[in-house]
A and B are shown apart, each in its own frame.
Chain A
Amino acid sequence: SQTIHQWPATLVQPVGSPLSLECTVEGTSNPNLYWYRQAAGRGLQLLFYSVGIGQISSEVPQNLSASRPQDRQFILSSKKLLLSDSGFYLCAWSAMSNQPQHFGDGTRLSIL
C-alpha cells in the first residue's frame, strides 16, 4: 500500500530564517505531488504541484519554492521566512490529476 511521510511535524522558526520541508511517498511510482498551505481556520491553498521529476508548477507567487529531486520526493523551501508564512503545510500525492489526493500528516509552522 502507498504511504506518504512528511516531516517535521512542528517547526518554530524566526523571521528571516530558511526553511526546508520534506515529503516522500512509498509504494507507488511517478505520483503527482502537491504542497498546500492551510492558514488557521481557513481552506486549503495549493502552492505547488509536480507531475514528474524536475517539473514544478507554482500556483501562488511568493517567497517559497519547491523541488522534486527524485520521483517520490518533494521539498518545500524558503530562503527567508516571513511572518505570513505561518500555517499548516500539507503534502499530498495522487496517481493522476483527476484521482483522489492523499495527504501526509502535515507540518505546523510557526514564525516568530
Chain B
Amino acid sequence: QKEVEQNSGPLSVPEGAIASLNCTYSDRGSQSFFWYRQYSGKSPELIMFIYSNGDKEDGRFTAQLNKASQYVSLLIRDSQPSDSATYLCAVYNNAGNMLTFGGGTRLMVKP
C-alpha cells in the first residue's frame, strides 16, 4: 500500500477555473504536509506547506488539511496555462523521520 497517494491525472481545467488537487496519506502520525510544483524536466519547487487542520491561503493557492480523514488538498484559483505542471504532495512522519512523496498529479490548464 502506497503511503501517499495522488491521482496521476492528467487533470484538465480551462483557464480561469479552480483546479483541485487531492492527496491521501496512510499514517495517522503524519505531522507536516507540503505541496511542490514540478515543471517538465525541472526540479520540484515548494509551493505551500501546512501543519494544522483547516485552510491556508497564499495568493491563488489554498492548502486544505483534514487529519481525521487523512487528506490534504491544493486549490489553485484563476488557473493559468503557466500552472500546467505536475504537483507533488509530500508528507512528513515523525516516527519515520522522513518525507514521503506521492507520485504526483499532472495538471493541464487549457487557454
> What residues on B are CB-neighbors of A100 within 8 Å?
34, 46, 49
Q: Using C-beta atoms within 8 Å of the partner chain, give the interface range for chain B.
A: 20 to 34
- Would you list which residues of chain B between 67 and 110 have a CB under 8 Å from chain A? 88, 90, 92, 94, 97-99, 101-104
| Interface majority SS (helix, strand, loop, mixed), chain B | strand
The complex places the Cα of A108 from the Cα of B101 at a distance, in Å, of 20
| Of the residues A42, A98, A104, A108, contact of B32 by C-beta under 8 Å | A98
Contacting pair A46 B98 (CB below 8 A): yes
Q: A98-B92, A100-B34, A101-B99 are in contact. Are A43 and B104 (CB under 8 A)?
A: yes
A43 adjacent to B88 (CB under 8 Å): yes
Is A103 at the interface (CB under 8 A from chain B)? Answer: yes
Interface residues of B in 17-68 (CB under 8 A from A): 31-32, 34, 41-46, 49
Cβ-closest chain A residue relative to B98? A46
**Across the interface, do B43 and A103 meet the contact criterion of CB distance under 8 Å?**
yes
CA distance A49 to B41 in the complex (A): 23
Question: Are the CB atoms of B103 and A90 closer together than 8 Å?
Answer: no
Task: Give residues in A with beta carbon < 8 Å to B.
Answer: 42-44, 46, 49, 59, 90, 97-106, 108
